[in-house]
Structure formats: structure tokens, C-alpha cells
């Protein structure tokens, strides 16, 4: 009898405890739910971005996004003018984002599409660099004479952190155009005075700690030889279209290069004048 009463008490106690645990779980779920909307949604960019969309893009053809490629524009013009240049269908070039000297970010191509920014390139066993990457252009002369501004590098770090978080891209897959361009040496961006190692470390740190540290410009031990960058030695089989592709990732500047070289025939061994900055062709 006592035993039955006792076991009945235990059962009641057990039932009470079970209900309490369930109630506590339900409460904690409610608390979790109520907190969630206030947490930052890491799958969406919180950065202010201006859309000036280019149609110079294509499907990623099933490739996931697992790289970030940095460029400089090699030009004195601002991000708006670059964005409008990317809208020119004849230009056949684009990048996903352009960061102006004042830190403003323009989006030119949506992330889910492949932009045309790397040309012939290769990285980690793949030549589909455009289809796997997000391309970011930094407005800068690109000859080490102009600092990448504090505001610009701050926006770059925030944007890279956003992209890195969204697509789970490790810092080992942050690269400069010159790191992936084929043949090696075809591209010089980004210029040496952007300390990319420090930028990549800042991106990682910002993701982990939320602390944003904008590194100073890198000391430049040697300046790029503009003379060498401006000369192209013609080889057998060259055409102006091919040279335009090779230097600027686009055939669109072939006529401008031809004009800049007095319409001369391409003779192997001759040197051509190739402006380092393609916008010089339009000035």
C-alpha cells in the first residue's frame, strides 16, 4: 500500500519534473525565437551599395563562389565613370564591385553572375577564375604614386568580410589580379603600396572580433617602371585585337591602341606604345 502510494508520489513528482523541463524548454525556445530577429543576418550585406548594373556578365555555369580577386583601375577617374565604362557592351569588361577613393561602393554585377575581370587566369588548379570569384576594383592610379585612402581600404575590408562570411571564403583564397593572370606578369594590379597581407589579416580579424583595423600603406621599395609597362614587344601572329585582350582583357581597345601607334603594321620585334591606363586612350 505504502509502496503504491510512494510509487504514485514518485510518478507525480516525475510527471511534475518532466512538465517543468518541457516548460523550461518551451520558454527557452520562445526566448531564442524572440532574440533571433535582433541578431545580424550574416547572409545579407549591411553595407550601403550603389547599383549601376552592367550587362557585361554571364552565368556562373554551376560554379560556386570561392575566391575574391582584387584589382586597381589604373586611372584617375572616379568609380561612377568606371561603372559607366563597364556598362559599355563593347568594353566587354566588368567587376562585381568598384570602391571609390572616398569609400563609396558601386555594385556593377550581382554576386550570382560571373563578371569579366580576370581574363586569362589560373588559380589552384582552375582556369575558371571569373566563374568562381567576386571581383573588386579599387580606384587608384596603380603606379604606387597614390595612396589607397583610409576610407577606401576601410570599405574594402568591410566588403571582403561580408563576402567572405556569406560564401565561406577563407583568406587563402583572397588574391590580386597579378597573382592569377596568365601568362605571369601580364597584370600588375594591385600596386605594391596596397599591403594586401595586412588587408587580408584585417578582414580575418574583423570577422572574428568585429574590430576594424585599417592598415597603413605598404612601404614601396621600388616603383614600377612605367616605361616597361608602356612598351609591348610584338611577336609573330599578333593582332591589335589579341594585344587588346592580352593587356586589357578586352578586344574593345584594339582600335585605340592602333591609333595610338599611328596605325602601324605589327612587325615582330617592334615595340608598341601601350598606355598602362586604358582610360588614357580616351582622354
CB 190 within 8 A of CB 176: yes
Q: Identify the residue whose cell numbers are 561612377.
A: 80
Contacting residue, 143, 162, 189, 192, with Zn ion by CB under 5 A: 189
- Residues numbered 56 to 75 that lie near Zn ion (CB under 5 A) are 71
Closer residue to Zn ion, CB minimum distance, 60 or 177: 177
Query: Least distance from C-beta 210 to Zn ion, angstroms?
Result: 30
183: left (phi over 0), alpha (psi -120 to 50) or beta: beta
Query: Least distance from C-beta 119 to Zn ion, angstroms?
Result: 8
Closer residue to Zn ion, CB minimum distance, 165 or 186: 186
Q: How many residues bind Zn ion (CB under 5 A)?
A: 3
Stretch that binds Zn ion, among 2-10, 96-104, 174-182, 192-200 (CB under 5 A): 174-182
Closer residue to Zn ion, CB minimum distance, 181 or 206: 181
Q: How many CB atoms lie within 10 A of CB 57?
A: 21
Tell me 218's DSSP state: P
Query: Least distance from C-beta 82 to Zn ion, angstroms?
Result: 12
At residue 122, what are phi and psi to the nearest 5 degrees? -150, 135
Q: Which helix (H) or strand (E) holds 18?
A: helix 2-35
Closer residue to Zn ion, CB minimum distance, 71 or 258: 71
Q: Which helix (H) or strand (E) holds 193?
A: none
Closer residue to Zn ion, CB minimum distance, 92 or 205: 92
Question: Beta strand 57-59 with 133-138: parallel, antiparallel or unpaired?
Answer: unpaired
The dihedral over CA atoms of 241, 243, 244, 245, expressed in degrees to the nearest 10, equals 90
Q: Binding of Zn ion at residue 177 (CB under 5 A)?
A: yes
Query: Least distance from C-beta 131 to Zn ion, angstroms?
Result: 16
Stretch that binds Zn ion, among 99-107, 148-156, 170-178, 254-262 (CB under 5 A): 170-178
Cα separation, 218 vs 195, whole angstroms: 5
Alpha helices in 189-239 (DSSP H): 196-209, 226-230
Query: Least distance from C-beta 44 to Zn ion, angstroms?
Result: 27
Closer residue to Zn ion, CB minimum distance, 175 or 206: 175
Q: Interface residues with Zn ion (CB under 5 A)?
A: 71, 177, 189
Amino acid at each position: 500500500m505504502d509502496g503504491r502510494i510512494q510509487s504514485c508520489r514518485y510518478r507525480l513528482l516525475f510527471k511534475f519534473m518532466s512538465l517543468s523541463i518541457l516548460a523550461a524548454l518551451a520558454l527557452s525556445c520562445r526566448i531564442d525565437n524572440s532574440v533571433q530577429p535582433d541578431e545580424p543576418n550574416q547572409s545579407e550585406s549591411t553595407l550601403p551599395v550603389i547599383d549601376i548594373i552592367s550587362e557585361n556578365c554571364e552565368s556562373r555555369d554551376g560554379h560556386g563562389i570561392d575566391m575574391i580577386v582584387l584589382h586597381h583601375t589604373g586611372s584617375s577617374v572616379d568609380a561612377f565613370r568606371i561603372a559607366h565604362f563597364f556598362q559599355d557592351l563593347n568594353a566587354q569588361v566588368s567587376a562585381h564591385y568598384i570602391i571609390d577613393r572616398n569609400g563609396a561602393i558601386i555594385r556593377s554585377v550581382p554576386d550570382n553572375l560571373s563578371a569579366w575581370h580576370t581574363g586569362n587566369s589560373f588559380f589552384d588548379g582552375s582556369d575558371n577564375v571569373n566563374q568562381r570569384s567576386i571581383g573588386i576594383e579599387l580606384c587608384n592610379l596603380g603606379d604606387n604614386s597614390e595612396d589607397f585612402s583610409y576610407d577606401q581600404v576601410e570599405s574594402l575590408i568591410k566588403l571582403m568580410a561580408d563576402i567572405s562570411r556569406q560564401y565561406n571564403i577563407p583568406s587563402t583564397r583572397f588574391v590580386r589580379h597579378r597573382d592569377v593572370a596568365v601568362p605571369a606578369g601580364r597584370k600588375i594590379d594591385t600596386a605594391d603600396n596596397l599591403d594586401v597581407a595586412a588587408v587580408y589579416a584585417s578582414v580575418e580579424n574583423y570577422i572574428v572580433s568585429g574590430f576594424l583595423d585599417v592598415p597603413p600603406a605598404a612601404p614601396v621599395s621600388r616603383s614600377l617602371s612605367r616605361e616597361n609597362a608602356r612598351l609591348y614587344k610584338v611577336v609573330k601572329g599578333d593582332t591589335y585585337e589579341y594585344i587588346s585582350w592580352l593587356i586589357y582583357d578586352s578586344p574593345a581597345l584594339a582600335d585605340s591602341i592602333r591609333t595610338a601607334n599611328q596605325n602601324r603594321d605589327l612587325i615582330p620585334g617592334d615595340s608598341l606604345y601601350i598606355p598602362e591606363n586604358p582610360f588614357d586612350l580616351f582622354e
